[in-house]
A and B are shown apart, each in its own frame.
Chain A
Amino acid sequence: MKFDTVIIGGGLAGLTAGLSLQKAGQNTAIISTGQSALHFFSGTFESIEEPPQQMQRLFEEAGIRLHYERGVRLMPLGTFRESALSLEDIDIFPTPKIGRKALIINFMGYHDFFSSFLAEGLQKQGLECRVRFINLPELEKLQLSPSEMRSVQIARAMDRVWEKVVQEIRMLLKDEDVVVLPQVFGLQDTSVPGRIRQGVPARVVFAGTLPPSVPGIRTQMLLKKRYQLLGGSILMGDEAVKAHIYENRIHSIVTRNLDSHYLEASHFILATGGYFSKGLVSNPFQIYEPVFGLDVEYAEDRNTWYNPAFAEDQPYMGYGVKTDGKLHAVKDGQPIDNLFVVGSILGKTQPQFGSAAGLAVRSALAAVDEILRCTQNDGEESASNPLSF
Chain B
Amino acid sequence: MKLQEYTSSKGNFEECMKCTVCTAYCPVLQVNPLYPGPKQAGPDGERLRLKDPYFFNKALKYCMNCKRCEVACPSGVHVADLIQAARIKYDTTPPKLRDQILASTDFMGSLARPFAPIVNGVTGLGITKTVLDATLKIDRHRTFPKYSGRSFEGWLKRHRKEQAAFPEQVAYFHGCYVNYNYPQLGKDLVKVMNALGIGVQLLDKEKCCGIAMITNGMSQSARKHAEHNVGVLKKAVDQGLKVVTTSSTCTFTMRDEYPSLLDVDNSAVKDSLLMATRLIYEKLEKGATLKFRADYHKKIAYHTPCHMEKMGWGIFSEKLLKMIPGVEFVMLDSACCGIAGTYGFKKENYEASQAIGAALFSQIESVNPDIVACDCETCKWQIEMSTGYPVQNPISILADALE
Contacts and interface: CB of A to CB of B under 8 A. Distances in A.
A278 B34 contact: no
B174 interface: no
A7 B313 CA distance: 17
Contacts of A188: 359
B72 interface: yes
B284 interface: yes
Interface in B329-386: 331, 333-334, 359
A258 interface: yes
A356 interface: no
Given A34-B76, A212-B20, A237 B310 contact: yes
Contact of A35 (B1, B33, B72, B310): B72
A153 interface: yes
Contacts of B310: 237
A255 interface: yes
B94 to A, nearest CB: 27
Nearest to B334: A236
B290 interface: yes
Interface in B39-92: 40, 70-76
- Dominant secondary structure at the A interface: loop
B36 A235 contact: no
Given A29-B315, A257-B311, A144 B20 contact: no
A69 interface: no
A70 interface: no
Nearest to A255: B312
A122 interface: no
A121 B308 CA distance: 48
B319 A150 contact: no
B318 A237 contact: no
Interface in B121-177: none
Contacts of A283: 4-5
A142 B318 CA distance: 37
Interface residues of B, number: 47
A306 B33 CA distance: 42
B19 A260 contact: no
A208 to B, nearest CB: 14
B118 interface: no
Interface in B266-314: 271, 278, 281-282, 284-285, 289-292, 309-313
A380 to B, nearest CB: 20
Given A29-B315, A259-B271, A284-B4, A148 B40 contact: yes
B70 A237 contact: yes
B319 A34 contact: no
A211 B20 contact: yes
B24 A217 contact: yes
A73 B84 CA distance: 44
A284 B6 CA distance: 12
Interface in A1-60: 1-2, 29, 33-36, 39-40
B74 A233 contact: no
Contacts of B282: 261
Contacts of B311: 257
Nearest to B35: A145
A141, A212, A217, A225 — most chain B CB neighbours (10 Å)? A212
A389 interface: yes
A152 B76 contact: no
A225 B363 CA distance: 13
B216 interface: no
A363 interface: no
Interface string A97-137: 00000000000000000000000000000000000000000
Contacts of B35: 145
B278 A389 contact: no
A277 interface: yes
B285 A386 contact: yes
Nearest to A156: B30
Given A147-B40, A260-B271, A233 B319 contact: yes
Contact of B21 (A1, A35, A141): A35
A39 B34 contact: no
B24 A212 contact: yes
Nearest to A34: B74
A144 B34 contact: yes
A228 interface: yes
Interface string A368-389: 0000000000000000011111
Interface string A266-287: 0000000000111000011000
Interface of A: 1-2, 29, 33-36, 39-40, 141-145, 147-148, 150, 152-153, 156, 188, 210-212, 217, 221, 225, 228, 233, 235-238, 255-261, 276-278, 283-284, 385-389
12 contacts: A34-B21, A35-B73, A40-B19, A150-B20, A211-B19, A211-B21, A236-B309, A237-B71, A237-B310, A258-B315, A260-B271, A387-B284
Counting from the closest, the 3 A-B pairs by CB-CB distance are A257-B312, A237-B71, A34-B74
Given A148-B29, A284-B1, 8 more contacts: A1-B281, A39-B19, A148-B37, A150-B23, A212-B21, A237-B310, A257-B311, A385-B323
